[in-house]
Structure 1
């Protein structure tokens, strides 16, 4: 039998040396902790299309495919599940104002300085962010 892994996308949205995080709530997974705008890749959807969709849905920011760049792939295992995670980066578009697009899943948006990430960033997400900031393009977590 061939092993398959679900795929998830994450957006590292930068405004200078700040990174946008959102506090999870009401999802049943790591509620109260900080994550990135993120979600699963749906059947028939590319990773790029997924990150653009999730960005629109979760923080109400419109990005074009040319605005995002795949920066890191992470093979992670956390809380019993293993994933292939695609971390994309983008700069905050001029005039864009991120807002919570899914108030039933996020309680606040937090701009964090890249050199001082909050302690309550979900560990598997922190691993990906820190690897990306070091310039790595691939990392593993939890194996």
Structure 2
């Protein structure tokens, strides 16, 4: 019997900009990177494509409706496992150009703060691989690896 194929979990991230600022969220009560800033993000569910997953996550976390025609893949990042219980990941970072609604904390049990920050002066408590992804995007990279 052939061995099961290797599978990589995938997560999607939305980069919302207001001129030179980017929207960050402070994670809370999830058990992963709590109290750190990150982008709105989440895992893909089985049976959904990356764009559908991104739009779902933005609706769930920020209460907005992203226009799929205004979402562009900005970077694919491949990360190594963070610890022995973790997996490698594919992270898909999307620039979100158009949405309707005002971003707000739609999941108060998982987020304690929304903050627009200057994209050229990212805070030190930003999740490390998210900071690396934003730097890679600023350089024009399409692919990045982290933790290898």
Query: Which consecutive aligned stretches of 4+ in structure 1 deviate over 6 angstroms post-superposition?
Result: none
- Structure 1's unaligned 5+ residue stretches are none
| Pair 1:50-2:53 in alignment | yes
Match of 1:98 among 96, 103, 109: 103
Match of 1:34 among 21, 32, 37: 37
1:18–1:41 Cα change, 3 Å = same
Aligned residues: 142
| Pair 1:123-2:128 in alignment | yes
Structure 1 position 79, deviation (Å) = 2.2
| Pair 1:139-2:144 in alignment | yes
Q: 1:3 aligns to what?
A: 6
Q: 1:74 aligns to what?
A: 77
Structure 1 position 96, deviation (Å) = 3.6
Larger radius of gyration: 2
Q: What TM-score, normalized to structure 1?
A: 0.94
Structure 1 position 128, deviation (Å) = 1.0
Q: What TM-score, normalized to structure 2?
A: 0.91
Q: Is the 8 A contact 2:74 2:142 kept in 1?
A: yes
3-state SS in 1 of match to 2:105: coil
Query: CA RMSD for the aligned pairs?
Result: 1.3
Structure 1 position 78, deviation (Å) = 4.7
Q: Is the 8 A contact 2:66 2:98 kept in 1?
A: no
3-state SS in 2 of match to 1:48: helix
